[in-house]
Amino acid sequence: MIRFRSGRPSLSVVVVAYDMARELPRTLRSLAPGYQQGIAADDYEVIVVDNGSPTPVDEAAFAALGSQVQLVRVDPAPPSPAHAANVGAEVARADFVGLLIDGARIASPRVLAHALLARHVAARPVVATLGWHLGTTLHANAGEAGYDRAAEDRLLAELDWVQASVHGGQRMPARELTKRVEEALRNQHVSCLSHPKGRLINYRPENALDLGRVFEVALEEDVAVEVNGLPNRLDLSGEHVRHVLDAGVTIVCSTDGHAPASLGYMPLSVHTARRGVNFAGALAARRAAERGAQVSLLNKTQLRHPRLGTAR
């Protein structure tokens, strides 16, 4: 992790925003400590410059950033964002300043840490990163091509299957992480939550996600949860699968494949899911036995669950 103890931040990130009540909170969430990795929270600051938005920026959007963010409003503001960018640079406390000239951006989890490393390649470096966006139209021509918020939503709606995944901020406190996942599950386009507990076996422990709450929301929104077959994940675990079944949530078996060879991991996913079915069957039998009921345990070839089919 990058740490510079100089009494002021090592990096100031200036975010210029105009009329982005929908997008700006997403951008700021991606800049929040816990999501940004490899950099300490007090080694960077975020400066939001509201470039004369008709409705001023709501400071509630800054909740995830705590005290590391400040808001500056330019009003009246010229059409160009250049003046707003310069205003943000003047306010910045760090010598190294990053600029998001469009407040509708999502920062990658290590982009700030990598920027601080890259500044050492030259005496006066200019560090840039690629900006990706939905659709086939170049960002500079998007407006003329009719690309707007409605078009973005339509593109998402065209996808047959959308996976939501936590790939940054695995060490967030339970409440904050659970709220973030809950918001994702309530997106109308999301089909499934991937590897919910984020573990990497023998490398990274499970995160603090409140699975009980997540299963409640998944059931409400008809979102499935994944049993990931990647050998170092196997997430959800068999024990967690039992709780999924108890909650009535749909399970999806997946390989997490990034290449054709990874498709061979499917048996690991299926066996992990069936282990959860066996847990559920054994637990039901034990509970029934404790009530004095006549119970006959089914063997694996007889066990059946409506969401997984017959185990063989």
User: In this structure, what CATH number is given to the domain that contains residue 280?
Assistant: 3.20.20.140
* Mean pLDDT, residues 21-48 taken together: 87
Co-location of 211 and 115 in the same domain: no
Asked if residue 306 has pLDDT above 80, the reply is no
Co-location of 111 and 15 in the same domain: yes
Q: Is 117 among the domain residues? A: yes
Co-location of 165 and 87 in the same domain: no
Co-location of 34 and 167 in the same domain: no
In the chain, % of residues over pLDDT 70: 83
Last residue of a domain, one of 107, 138, 169: 138
Greater model confidence, 260 or 307: 260
How far is Cα 110 from Cα 34, in angstroms, rounded to an integer? 11
How far is Cα 71 from Cα 55, in angstroms, rounded to an integer? 14
Q: Is 149 among the domain residues? A: no
- 126-162: pLDDT as tens digits: 998 877 776 677 766 777 877 777 887 787 778 888 8
Last residue of a domain, one of 138, 172, 196: 138
CATH number at residue 46: 3.90.550.10
Co-location of 196 and 84 in the same domain: no
In the prediction, which pLDDT does 310 show?
37
Co-location of 201 and 94 in the same domain: no
Q: Of 31-35, 117-121, 272-276, 306-310, which range is least confident?
A: 306-310
Q: Is 5 among the domain residues? A: no
Co-location of 117 and 168 in the same domain: no
Question: Helix/strand/coil (H, E, C) string of the chain?
Answer: CECCCCCCCCEEEEEEECCCCCCHHHHHHHCCECCECCECHHHEEEEEEECCCCCCCCHHHHHHHHHHEEEEECCCCCCCCHHHHHHHHHHCCCCEEEEECCCCCCCCCCHHHHHHHHHHHCCCCCCCCCCCCCCCCCHHHCCCCCCCHHHHHHHHHHCCCCEECCCCCCCCCHHHHHHHHHHHHCCCCCCEECCCCCCECCCECCCCCCHHHHHHHHHHHCCEEEEECCCCCCECCHHHHHHHHHHCCCEEEECCCCCHHHHHHHHHHHHHHHHHHHHHHHHHHHHHHHCCCCCCCCCCCCCEECCCEECC
Asked if residue 209 has pLDDT above 90, the reply is yes
Greater model confidence, 153 or 70: 70
Q: Is 160 among the domain residues? A: yes
Q: Is 97 among the domain residues? A: yes
Co-location of 131 and 167 in the same domain: no
Co-location of 86 and 218 in the same domain: no
Q: Is 270 among the domain residues? A: yes
Q: Is 52 among the domain residues? A: yes
Mean pLDDT over each residue of the chain, to the nearest integer: 82
Co-location of 108 and 197 in the same domain: no
Asked if residue 55 has pLDDT above 50, the reply is yes
Co-location of 162 and 225 in the same domain: yes
Q: What's the total number of domains in the chain?
A: 2
Q: Is 204 among the domain residues? A: yes
Co-location of 49 and 111 in the same domain: yes
The domain of 300 spans 156-310
pTM as predicted: 0.57
